[in-house]
Structure 1
Amino acid sequence: MSGFQLPPIFDVPALSTIERATVLDALFEPCTALHTLSLDLLHTEKFESYYDLIASVGVQLIDLSESLSTSDTEWLDNILGAHPRLGEKKVESAQSQAEQAQLNTGGEEEATKLRNLNAEYEKTFPGLKYVVFVNGRSRPVIMEDMRSRIDRGDIKLERAEAIKAMCDIAADRAVKLQQH
């Protein structure tokens, strides 16, 4: 995906299904469940900006989170779970690799602590991975946030925070991936 640039926003509805999926993958993370949810939206809606597109996908995710249907919740968790674990060595998307690079600068002790926090988080919130917009924050600050979210133990709030983080990350990526 390196060197990938987002097409002009007004071209998105006319893109092929594969090209629209590539746009979603670049903004969010590669995820079949997100394709199923949002590919049609990108085909039928006209957006003024990538920010508008991301906000519309965010609304779809919020709708899933507010649904009483178990299958909607599982679907949402699949999408939220597509994000790589924080601090993981093998990360699929070029965007996540770049975003997480600064988190992999601490020593082995910190890396172990982060792995343990990831495991505890996923045990507390089955089906989810901790998603946060790192945005230049240090590993200790991120781990403190993760710890407080685990201690809070509120799955609904967790999904809401993950949706917001995914949209913040996507907005940041959109700026970096647009043609200049």
Structure 2
Amino acid sequence: MPSLPPISGLPSLDAEQRAEVLDTLFEPCQQLHTLSVSLLREKTFSSYDELIGAVGSQLKELYESDLESDTRWLDSILSAHPRLGEKKVDSEQSRKEQAQLNQGGPEEAQKLAEMNRKYEETFPGLRYVVFVNGRSRPVIMEDMQRRINRGDGKQEKQDAIQVRIISYSTCS
């Protein structure tokens, strides 16, 4: 993971540098920049875990909002995560996770691509997100199938927010 500046210096960084911090902690996403770049200037944090929790709170506020525009904004942020098994990935953290998943054969890769398609048909605007660390492709695909069968879009959004908060705070 690229190095992060000292947490105490975030408010003095320019907007582009604060966006780069967000891109290091999360997936690069213009909507997340719009939502959170000013937070990194306006508030001081004692740790990156605290910052990640604050961004998580912003995402939860969007989730709890009744405004359609907030729902679309949240969906844009949540869909910034790459599909599992995707070859081109923007963030270092996702590259590491994807490398772990891309160790199977072509049949498994095809099955994963099909499951991604089914997931996205079941939950339009979302991508399947899970904490990959140390979990095998078959275990992850079993979880994906369970969540497709569950068919609960609201729960998927909650899970996606939670995964971002937990997985990125454990990697910072």
* TM-score range normalised by the length of the shorter chain: over 0.9
* C-alpha displacement of 1:94: 2.2
* Corresponding residue for residue 177 of structure 1: none
Structure 2 residues not aligned, in runs of 5+ = none
* Corresponding residue for residue 72 of structure 2: 74
> Does structure 2 conserve the Cα–Cα contact (< 8 Å) formed by 1:118 and 1:130?
yes
2:3 maps to 1:5: yes
Structure 1 residue ranges, 4+ long, deviating more than 4 angstroms after superposition: none
Counterparts of 1:1-180 in structure 2, within 5 Å, are 4-174=2-172
Secondary structure at 1:128 match in 2: coil
How far apart in 1 are the matches of 2:118 and 2:67?
26
Paired letter, 1:5: S
1:28-48 CA-to-partner distances (Å, cap 9, x unmatched) read: 011000001001111100101
> Does structure 2 conserve the Cα–Cα contact (< 8 Å) formed by 1:81 and 1:128?
yes
> Does structure 2 conserve the Cα–Cα contact (< 8 Å) formed by 1:84 and 1:91?
yes
* C-alpha displacement of 1:119: 0.2
How far apart in 1 are the matches of 2:56 and 2:120?
23
Secondary structure at 2:46 match in 1: coil
> Does structure 1 conserve the Cα–Cα contact (< 8 Å) formed by 2:101 and 2:137?
yes
* C-alpha displacement of 1:116: 0.3
* C-alpha displacement of 1:78: 0.3
* C-alpha displacement of 1:171: 1.0
> Does structure 1 conserve the Cα–Cα contact (< 8 Å) formed by 2:83 and 2:127?
yes
> Does structure 2 conserve the Cα–Cα contact (< 8 Å) formed by 1:26 and 1:173?
no
How far apart in 1 are the matches of 2:82 and 2:170?
17
How far apart in 2 are the matches of 1:130 and 1:109?
20
In the superposition, the TM-score normalised over structure 1's length comes to 0.93
Q: What is the percent sequence identity of the aligned residues?
A: 60
Name which structure has the greater RCO, CA cutoff 8 Å, separation 6+: 1
Give the total of aligned pairs.
Answer: 172
Secondary structure at 1:165 match in 2: helix
* C-alpha displacement of 1:167: 1.3
* C-alpha displacement of 1:127: 0.6
Secondary structure at 1:160 match in 2: helix
* C-alpha displacement of 1:95: 1.9
> Does structure 2 conserve the Cα–Cα contact (< 8 Å) formed by 1:61 and 1:76?
yes
How far apart in 2 are the matches of 1:164 and 1:135?
15
How far apart in 1 are the matches of 2:138 and 2:55?
31
Secondary structure at 2:10 match in 1: helix
